[in-house]
Structures are given as structure tokens and as C-alpha cells.
Structure 1
Amino acid sequence: MQRIATSNAVADMFGPGKYGFGAGNPAAGVRPTYFSADWCNQVQEEICALPEVLGIVIDGSSRNMLATAVLMLVQGMASSYAADTGAANSCVVTLSPGITVLTDGMVIRFKAKSNNTGPSTLTLNSLGAQPIYGLNSTALQGGEIRQNGYCTVLWNASIGGFILQSCNGGGLQIGNGTQSQHGATVGQVQSGAMIYASDGGAANAYVVNYSPGLTALTDGMVLWFKAKVANTGASTLTVNSLGAQPFVGASHSPLQGGEIVANGKCQVVWNAPLGAFVLIECTGGALQVGNATQSQHAVPLGQVQPIFGSAGSSSSRNKLINGGAQVVIQTSSPSLSTAPQYGPVEMIAGWASGGAITAGTLVQDTAAPVGRTGKAVRFQSCTLTGSGQMSWRYRMESGDAVNMKNQTATFQIKVQHNVGSAINYTVVIRKPTAADNFSSTTVIGTSAATSVASGVAQQLTFTQALGDCSYGLEIEVQAACGAVTTKDFWWTEWSIEEGAAASNIEFRPIPVELAACMRYYQADTFHCGGAPIASGTGSTAVSSNSTSIQGTKTLSVPMRAQPTLATKDLAGNSGAYSFFPPSGGQTNNQQMTSGGVGLSTTTIDLDATASVAAITWCRFTYTLSARL
């Protein structure tokens, strides 16, 4: 192409040497710039060349052929895109018009036919298979090219291969990062190479240089290093050239010595609010922890020593029974009342006060939101008016309480409630005025109120000097809830132990807890006579005559005191018996014409005359209560 160059072209019209057309001036005798056939032909062919190279036939009736050609180039990039027709790891792309030579920097795009599983090649038109490298200029490893992914490659003449710049859905191979803003490879991340180095300092003054070098300490930054020597006291850590920073343990206190050992692998985290590195761990070193406040917390030596570490220190074992709310003997779940009553979780009574009760049930929750085991006493769906209060109660008999006479003890329990605002919980410890007779009690101590937010599991603790508690102990936990509607309360992991600190709650084996609970409440079946064979723990099959029947059952666990008996026949009729006469068939809702059941703390004795002649056996279910 050339600019107009006829004899009267306007010189330098668009700059030096850039001639143009003049309109002329007839009045002054100046002619317009002359055309020439040569110039017109050059312009015509220059314009037609682009549509024709794209396969467009010149049509004199169309005035947008050049625009169409440009649009084809922009939209389709027809000269650098095609679909792959090869196999996995051997891509084949045929461009149209065909490429006859590979030019340094040439960019090609293609749609992959298959996933690659390792090193791969690309054959472009008939130019032979050429290796495909990643952005780190090494062979592909697999997964960089994905089926139906759109791939962009660049020919690098210096290394004689295509560089895969991207493929949507595929892994991106890059070089190892060496600066803080660089991308990191999986290998770098997995090896921890960027956050691990060896200490080059001295005891109590650790110096670690990471590569790439750290230029700032960021809150929450985690670093690892191999310690050169052990620490003997308070220590510092210098990272790269960022200055010596103090070291603290997990309790946010200065190190004391022995937390870092020679050749130990140390993990630290920068805590900006503290302005210090927190030592998370050092293999082989002692671990600093804060004081324990929950049952599963680690206990520092300083917290344990006052309880166990000196001569004459008292036991810290749990003196309360069924602390994990796991033992259930009573099958009924009573409705909430203003009078204390026992629910299915043994040893615990509950009630409400301060308002009218319209709904609520005492149950065992086996999926409670509080506590380790998920089991808890639950006051379920409670509705209460006025200045309502929920109460949880545990009573300890004199035989156990005397062991805590004149001791300081710490009570703990975990609680939670839902719905509404925070409420105050208070612990009250009392003692009866006569052994195991709680009809009259004296307050030993009352805790301060603890506010517990809704939906939050919280441990309550109360330390109290018990004085002479030989007659027994009563522990009540009060929840000042006010008026509530369909609200739940949970109570679990209760314990009382000697000493002024709450240690981990003791979870005793279920058989041990069950036996302890059965001292206060039992439920089973009594059977005597012929077939079927004896059923129920301790039952004894004995012979019977036409109307008289006798049998004795020895209780597997002696009761605390002479129990109260409640019986039902096998059909659930209270105070009745089920008989089986020789003629067959079970007869329910029967009574004895004389005699009956005798009780002691260790046995149930049946000596009676049946109302049915010639019975073969007698059977009934029973509960025995010696609850306080």
C-alpha cells in the first residue's frame, strides 16, 4: 500500500512525507488532487485481501465485507484455534490456514480431547510432535490438561517446546515460589519448606532464618523450627531480621525451662495482641498449659500439687453417684411439679417454684448439647408463669457425708438452657438436722449467682467449708428463669470432691454406678413356683401346693434402708399378681386371700394363700424405693 503520489498531491498533509488529497480551489485555478489507476488498484486489493484470506468471496452488492472479516478474526481467532484430535498425552491440532513454521512466541489455543496422565506432546499441522512443558519449563506430570478443557500454549524456541499457560479444570504447573507474593507449589507446601528452618541461636535466644525471608510478622502466622539447644528459662525468638520477640507457653506465661529440647521440632504461632510467639509444642519438651476449668482440660502441675502432691492431701474423687446421668432405672418420666420428685435419672429430683406450671417433663436426654457423653437430666418443654425457678437436687446419705465432715469441698455441675435471655444459677448446700431425715435442714452455704447465656454450656463451681455434715448433705442448684414458655434445662456431670479446686469429674464404670444407684431404687420381676423358670435377678423357683405359695428373692444389692414396695401384675395392674394354674393360661389381676410380701433391706419374701386353687407359679413386677 502507498499514499497518493500524483503531481498535485498535498505534501506533508499528515506529517512529514505523508501526502494527502486536496479539494482544490476553482476560483483560484487550483485543481483537486489527481487520482491514478495504480493508486486505486493498490487500495482496492489491500482492502479485498483480508476478506479473501478468510474465504469470503467479494460481492459488489455488499458494503460490510471488511467488517465481517474483522469480526471473524475477533470472534473465532480462526488462525490460532482448533480442536484436538489426538490421544491422551499426544495432542494433535490442525489449524486452518495451516501453520508452516513455528515462530518464537506464537500462541495457539485448542480444545483438549482427553486428560493427560503424564508428559505430553503437541503436533501442530504437519510440524511434528513437540513436547509440552509447564510454566516451570519442565515436563507435565499429569492432570494439567483436562478433557474438553480450553488450552493455551506458547511456542518457546529457546527450549524447543510448547509452554502450557492454562487449561481450565487442570492443575497449573508453576515454579517454586521464592518471594512472599509468589505462588507456591504443592511440593513446597507439603514439605513445609517455606515455614521450616533450623535454629542457629543459643539457649533461651533462638534465631531462625526462613527462605524466602519473612518481612513481617502476621497475627496467626505458624512457623516450625528445629531447636539447637534446650531452654532453661524465659526465651526469645528472632525470625530473619525482625528482632528478638518474647516466647510464651500455651498459658500465655513466659517459658520456665524444659519446654524446648535440643533437636526438638518446635511449632510456634505469632500472637499480635500479646506481641509474642506462643509455643504450641516442642517434641520431647514439657507442655505449658493454663489452669483447668473443665473436666477434659489438661491440668498444670501447679494446680495438681495442692491436691495430690503433699503429705496428708485429701482425695479428689467424686463423692456423688451417677454424675454422668447415665443410670436410669425408673421407667416413668413425671410431669414437672411444684413438689420435688425423682425422674428417670437416678439420684436426681427436680421441681419448679415461683409460678404456675402448665407444662414440663423430667426426662433423661441421651443427645444433650452439654457434657461429654450426651446424657443429662432434662427439664423438657417447661412453661412457667411469674417469677419462676427451676430446681435440681441431690441428697447424700449420712454414711457417705460423714466422710466429708469438717472438710472443704468443691461442687461442680454443667448446665445449659435454651430460649430467651441469660439467667442466674445459684448453688445451695444444706445438711439435715437428723441422720438421713431431710424434713428439716440447715443451710451450710450459698454460692454467688452465675449468669448463663442461652444456648451456652457452662460449668458451675462452688467451694464451701462443710463443717459437721455427719447427718447428710443436700445440694440444690436453682435456675432463676422467671416466666418461660416451652423452655428446656439440662444438668449433667455433677461432682463434689474434697479440696478447693474442681478437678476432672470421675466417670466410674456403669456397673459400679448402677450398683450404687440400686442401693436407693430397684425395679425387677419376682417369680416363684414351677415353669417358667425363675426370672429376675435373685429369683428362686420353689414348689407350691394347691393354694399356698412361698418364695424368696435375695436382692443383688442391699437397700439403704427398709424400702417401700410397689407391685404390678404382668398386665400392669397395681397391687395385683399374675397366676398360672395347672390347667394353663395366665390369670392376671389376682389377689392373695391371706399373707403377702415381706421386705427387708436384702430380700423379698412371698408367703401367702392364693385366690386361685392349685396354681403352678406366681409372678409380679415391683419397684423398691429407699430414696432420700
Structure 2
Amino acid sequence: MDYPKSIPSVGLVNGKFVNEDVVAGLPGSLIPATWGNDITDELLNVVKSAGLEPSETDATQLLQAVKKLSQAGEDKHAPDVGAANLYMANYVPAITMLKDGLVLRFTAGNANTGASTFAPNGLLPKPLVNLASSALRPAEIVGGSLCSVVYCAALDSWLLVYASGGNATGGRLLSVRTFTSSGVYVPTVGMKNVLVKVMGGGGGSAGIGTTTTNQASLTGGGASGSYAEALLSSATIGASQVITVGAGGAAGPVAANAGSGGTSSFGSLVSAPGGGGSPWIGSITFPAVGLFVGGFPSTPSTGANILNSAGAAGSPGISVNGSTLAGHGGNSPLGCGGFGSSVAMALAAPGTGYGSGAGGIANAPNQPGRPGGAGAPGVVIIYEYA
């Protein structure tokens, strides 16, 4: 589209039309029919391509058409003509240079199997990365995906901000995997990072012995297991990891110590030991004051880059001249310790949730021995992110 410069008789001045100057005796420019028709047809093509019916009386149709075509983005979408991992598209009008923030769309012809590139209109291919600026993992783009990409000059790469049917939305939660028993973790396709929560098993509470007329017996609560949180990349995790879930500490038999909770772990990367069980110390004879310790806390967890924490100790039981209160179980970040029972309670309260300690138990005079409570088991929870 240009002025009719190739026609000498048109009378252009400095390449543009001029009016007739009667005083100076200068003729005005002519508008050739061919040129006038070409200009009109070119404008009408814009109007028609937007789905509008040309009208002589509507002077806003060209503006309407430009707005409509801009919203449709037809000049920014093209089919992929490349191969898997080597995406290419030809846009009309052609993209001749890359500019920071340039947004383009293409319909992928193939799924990606790993790191990929994108090149519009034969320009030099640039890396195609996710929103975390990392190389694409397999299946982030699937065949037939409508993909939206943005050129980032700072990275000299194309950011994949959307891919229908794929896993291209960086940081999106893919799934939550909860292991309440030991097993093997195999990452979901498209996983880039995981938040792992590892909870060791809670300790049990000891059993109490038989009491005579002037005796009472009681125990402290079990300790909670240690706790860990870690953010790990897919590269660190690899193809799989063995998951170990620590059991809750066993309830102590009559007049015997309780068991400690088991260690939970995410492979060799993160480990959370279990909490200690409370010990059986013996009965107390009135009048006297006695303190019966709870389970010792576990050692701190290891391997976590967000939080490494030891468990909470079980509360001690206490007896003052016949008035008794057993110790509460240690609370955990994922569970509540069992409450300390009074002499009226027949059974010890187990730990609840995950990783908490069992509550202790108490005996009044002239009562038979009773077993303690069990600690809550550990758990491994994995949040997978694209």
C-alpha cells in the first residue's frame, strides 16, 4: 500500500497529493481509478475479515474491524511446523525480530519429551522454559496443545505460560501423596519439586502395677516423634525413593516400660526419629510426693531444608499423698497427645493423628495392674508441584 508514485501524470508533490492552485496556475493531483479501487479493496478486506458487512453509511467499520481482529489475535497464532522438542511456527505478518514481552501462540504438533526450543518464522531457536525458568520436563506439552509463550530478553528464552492438556503451569499442585505405611514413591509425570513432610512415630505409655491399700501407681505420657519439612527438586529425588513410616510406640504391658516410636524417612534424604516411650518406675506409698517422668523426646530430624525439629517430651505424672494425675502424651505438628488418665479411667488414652505420644495411666489403692497406651504412628506426606 503506497501512493501511486509510478504514474507520472498523477501530479504528486514531494510524494503526496496536492490541491489545485488557481492563483498560481498549478493543477491539483489526480487519483487514478486503479489506485483508488485498490485502496478501497484493501480497506474492505479488513472489514470483511472481521465478519462485518460493508456499509457506505457507517464510518466506524474499519475501527471496529481492527479492534475485533486484535482481540482474536489471528496474527499471533500459527500451527507448529517443527518436531518434538523443536517447535516452530510461521506467523502472518512474519515475526522478523524478538522483542521483550512478545506474546505468541501455537498449536503443538507433538508432545515434548524433554528440554525444548521454539522459533517463529525461521528465527534462531531459543530455549522454551517453564515459569520457574527451568528446562521443560516430559509431557509439559502434548500433541494438540494450544500453547502460549512469552519472550524474555533477560533469559533469552521463551516462557511457556500455558499449554492446554499439559503440565505447563509452573508451581501448580499436581497431587498430594500420603504414606501411612512404608512403600516406594514414584514421582508423577511433570513433577518438578516436592514439599515433603516426614513425621516419626509417637512413644507409648508404660503399664502400671498392682496397688495395695496405701499405694498408688501412675506413669508419664509418651513423647512425640520428630518432624521434618523439605523442598526437594526432581533431580534430587530421581526415579523413585523408598518411604519408611515409623510405627507408633507399643503400649507398655502391666508394670513395664512402653515402646518408642519408629523412624520415618524419605529415602536417605530426610529422616525423622520416633519419640521415646515412658518408663515404669514403680508404685508410691502414702504419705509421699512422687514425680513419674514421661517419655524422652526424639533426637532432631535430619536432611530437611525448611524445618528440622525434635519431638516433645511426654508430660510427667504426679502424685501428692494419694492425689494422682498421669502425664499427657507429647503433641506433634500433626497430632494431639493422649490425655493423662485419672484413677477413674480404665484405659490409657492413645496418641491421635500422626506422631503424638500416648497418655499415661494412674491407679488408686487396691487396683490391679493395667497396660499403658500406644503412640500414634508416623506419616510421610508429599506435595507434588509442576
What TM-score do the two structures reach when normalised by structure 2?
0.41
Asked which structure has the greater CA Rg, the reply is 1
More strand by share: 1
Q: Which has the higher contact order (CA 8 A, sep 6+)?
A: 2
